[in-house]
């Protein structure tokens, strides 16, 4: 089959110097051959590029992301599955398989009914398996939650623009952007807009653990039937986090998962503030269960020794009654300079100015991630220290201020409480542990005809 050609866009933060291309998450170095350089130049100029090993690496690390494709869609056999507990909030499309997950009273017109509430994962599994029993030739399943509004879509069948991705037989899942409701003036509507639970942002790309985009919400997604059969569908033991688990298991089996934000749907906010916070708490509780299945992929902070040094300097600066600036600034500057020189020395042809940009950006992201981890994961562990440690108090206050909005702070604190509860329930703190990388660009195999690939995390 002739390789498909599509247009892509390079990450604006990527650095291209002669035959070196550096960017993505984790930070990846590609030493390009002439053919590889030509491919990157084609992407930069907006020309279509055919699939290949180099493009796979660019997509996997987020250095490149696909642009919306306007070519004709290949028709496929598709079924829509909507799990619901209580009547659906929005009208369902004709032909939708509505799975009533133990509602009282039963949902009128439901296609399938569970006698008791088994959770959304079990309801979705019941729905797609019922479809395959009757129509075994079904190729794709559109999963759409009952509180997702698709009426804003310009296309009656909102998911159709996503289907072009499935021309690539390795693609197992494609997800649209799930935004907070644009209308509505309740406190939870405003909170959801300020701190959306499911919005992955405007930049699309490959979805995988430890990548720039780590999961896709099951509130709205399209999944290939053969991919579902390959992994056995959703994990029914998970009440929340089942979408994260699904994506990661698909990735482990070699399926490609894609986030396509050019297609947008809206996810309704919880009607009460208590329900809104309980939702965030339940997300946090799922972290422990995910950690038992996927280990360090759930880590709240991934950093290098360089990143630890900078956060240590920040902690030292806050330890005194009158915060010290000179020594911590010296430590941070020294760390940045040593890491920059080390990176420039290891990569022939990389100017020190570009190495400094890469290291500086990595250290800033690492420090921001550490403060986020305090809000979203570690604050329950810091509670005993707040009464006796000035450093703990100041770090916690700084982390809270960095949330930027009261709704984001409330959401993060609720998530952190859930993470602690999940750790207690599973008797494991694995989901709360940071991951320390070597802090260098380590070799990885790739297609040497196009590039030499190294990956790592200077920050």
454 pLDDT more than 70? no
74 pLDDT more than 70? no
Q: Is the dihedral of CA 277, 280, 285, 288 positive or negative?
A: negative
pLDDT tens profile 82-110: 999 999 888 888 889 999 999 999 999 89
What's the domain range around 395? Answer: 302-436
CA atoms within 13 A on the CB side of 266: 18
Nearest to 24 by CA among 174, 244, 206: 206
Beta strands in 131-229 (DSSP E): 140-144, 148-149, 171-179, 205-207, 220-224
Question: Rounded to two decimals, what is the model's pTM?
Answer: 0.87
Residues 314 and 262 in one domain: no
In a domain, 192, yes or no: yes
Last residue of a domain, one of 269, 292, 315: 269
Write down the pLDDT at residue 177: 95
Residues 105 and 215 in one domain: yes
Residues 110 and 43 in one domain: no
Residue 69 pLDDT level (bands cut at 50, 70, 90): low
Q: How many domains does the chain have?
A: 3
Nearest to 212 by CA among 26, 356, 383, 72: 26
Residues 57 and 107 in one domain: no
Residues 312 and 264 in one domain: no
In a domain, 253, yes or no: yes
pLDDT tens profile 332-363: 899 999 989 988 888 877 888 888 888 888 89
Per cent of the chain over pLDDT 70 is 91
Q: Is 164 helix (H, G, I), strand (E, B) or coil?
A: helix
pLDDT tens profile 117-163: 999 999 999 999 999 999 999 999 999 999 998 876 655 688 888 98
Residues 141 and 214 in one domain: yes
pLDDT tens profile 176-194: 999 998 887 889 999 999 9
pLDDT tens profile 36-54: 888 898 898 888 888 788 8
| Measured CA distances, 101 to 58, 98, 347, 433 (Å) | 41, 9, 56, 35
DSSP per-residue codes, 380-440: HHHHHHHTT-HHHHHHHHHHHHTT-SHHHHHHHHHHHHHHHHHHHHHT--GGG--EE---S
| Measured CA distances, 153 to 149, 275, 376, 411 (Å) | 9, 27, 33, 28
331 pLDDT more than 50? yes
Residues 179 and 214 in one domain: yes
| CATH at residue 140 | 3.90.550.10
Last residue of a domain, one of 252, 269, 286: 269
Give mean pLDDT, residues 223-239.
96
Write down the pLDDT at residue 413: 97
pLDDT tens profile 209-225: 988 889 999 999 999 99
Residues 144 and 252 in one domain: yes
Residues 58 and 83 in one domain: no
Write down the pLDDT at residue 436: 87
In a domain, 248, yes or no: yes
Residue 409 pLDDT level (bands cut at 50, 70, 90): very high
Q: Is the dihedral of CA 174, 59, 232, 289 positive or negative?
A: negative
Last residue of a domain, one of 245, 269, 293: 269
Residues 255 and 328 in one domain: no
């Amino acid at each position: 089959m002739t390789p498909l050609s599509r247009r892509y866009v390079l990450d604006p933060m990527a650095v291209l110097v002669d035959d070196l291309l550096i960017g993505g998450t984790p930070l990846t170095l590609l030493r390009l051959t002439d053919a590889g350089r030509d491919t990157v130049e084609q992407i930069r100029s907006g020309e279509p590029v055919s699939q290949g090993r180099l493009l796979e690496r660019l997509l996997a690390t987020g250095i490149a992301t696909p642009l919306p494709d306007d070519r004709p869609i290949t028709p496929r056999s598709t079924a829509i599955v909507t799990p619901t507990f209580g009547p659906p909030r929005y009208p369902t499309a004709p032909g939708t398989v509505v799975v009533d997950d133990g509602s009282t009273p039963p949902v009128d017109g439901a296609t399938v009914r569970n006698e008791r509430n088994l959770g959304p994962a079990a309801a979705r599994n019941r729905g797609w398996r019922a479809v395959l029993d009757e129509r075994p030739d079904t190729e794709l399943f559109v999963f759409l939650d009952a509180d997702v509004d698709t009426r804003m879509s310009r296309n009656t069948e909102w998911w159709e623009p996503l289907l072009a991705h499935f021309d690539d037989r390795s693609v197992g899942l494609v997800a649209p952007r799930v935004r907070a409701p644009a209308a509505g003036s309740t406190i939870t509507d405003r909170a959801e807009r300020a701190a959306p639970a499911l919005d992955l942002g405007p930049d699309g790309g490959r979805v995988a653990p430890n990548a720039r985009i780590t999961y896709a919400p099951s509130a709205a997604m399209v999944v290939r039937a053969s991919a579902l059969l390959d992994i056995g569908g959703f994990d029914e033991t998970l009440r929340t986090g089942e979408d994260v688990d699904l994506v990661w298991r698909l990735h482990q089996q070699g399926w490609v998962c894609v986030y396509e934000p050019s297609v947008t749907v809206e996810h309704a906010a919880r009607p009460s503030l208590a329900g809104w916070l309980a939702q965030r708490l339940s997300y946090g509780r799922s972290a422990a269960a995910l950690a038992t299945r996927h280990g360090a992929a759930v880590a709240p902070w991934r950093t290098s020794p360089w990143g630890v040094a900078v956060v240590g300097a920040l902690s030292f600066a806050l330890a005194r009654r009158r915060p010290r600036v000179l020594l911590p600034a010296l430590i941070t500057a020294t760390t940045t300079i040593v890491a920059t020189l080390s990176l420039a020395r290891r990569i022939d042809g990389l100017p020190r100015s570009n190495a400094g940009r890469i290291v500086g950006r990595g250290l800033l992201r690492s420090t921001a991630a550490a403060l986020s981890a305090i809000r979203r994961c570690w604050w329950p562990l810091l509670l005993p220290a707040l009464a006796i440690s000035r450093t703990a108090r100041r770090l916690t206050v700084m982390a809270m201020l960095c949330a930027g909005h009261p709704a984001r702070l409330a959401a993060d604190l609720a998530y952190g409480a859930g993470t602690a509860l999940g750790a207690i329930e599973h008797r494991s703190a694995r989901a709360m542990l940071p991951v320390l990388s070597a802090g260098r660009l380590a070799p990885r195999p790739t297609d040497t005809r196009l590039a030499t690939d190294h990956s790592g995390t200077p920050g």
